[in-house]
């Protein structure tokens, strides 16, 4: 903020009035921007809530489908080899399938 002395008299009054008007306009513009921002945030809140809920559902679906997160990406889990399943006893015996 810079102050400049313009003296007294009619010219000084005109300059002072101009400064006051400019300040009032700037304050009114800031108030309008604040109102607009509050209105937009109120409109965006339900959309953000819906987006978060959808993201939770998608994550749950992908995990249930056998995917996992790796560095931010979902990847299909590798299938185990037959020998690994046999060692755990998970393999279905022949003739019973």
**What single string gives the DSSP state of each residue in 63-77?**
HHTTEEEETTEEEEP
Mean pLDDT of 75-95: 60
pLDDT tens digits for 39-82?
A: 999 999 999 999 999 999 999 999 998 898 888 888 887 776 55
Mean pLDDT of the chain: 83
For position 2, what pLDDT does the model report?
Answer: 66
Secondary structure of residue 79 in the 3-state scheme: coil
pLDDT above 50 (res 97): no
Compute the distance between CA of residue 48 and CA of residue 57 in angstroms, rounded to an integer. 14
The four Cα atoms 48, 51, 57, 63 give a dihedral, to 10 degrees, of: -100
Q: Is the pLDDT of residue 83 over 80?
A: no
């Amino acid at each position: 903020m810079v102050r400049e002395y313009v003296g007294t008299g009619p010219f000084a009054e005109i300059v002072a009035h101009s400064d006051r008007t400019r300040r009032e306009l700037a304050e009114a513009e800031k108030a309008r921007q604040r109102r607009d921002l509050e209105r937009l945030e109120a409109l965006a809140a339900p959309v953000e809530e819906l987006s978060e809920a959808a993201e939770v559902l998608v994550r749950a679906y992908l995990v249930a489908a056998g995917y996992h997160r790796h560095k931010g990406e979902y990847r299909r889990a590798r299938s185990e080899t037959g020998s690994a399943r046999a060692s755990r006893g998970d393999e279905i015996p022949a003739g019973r399938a």
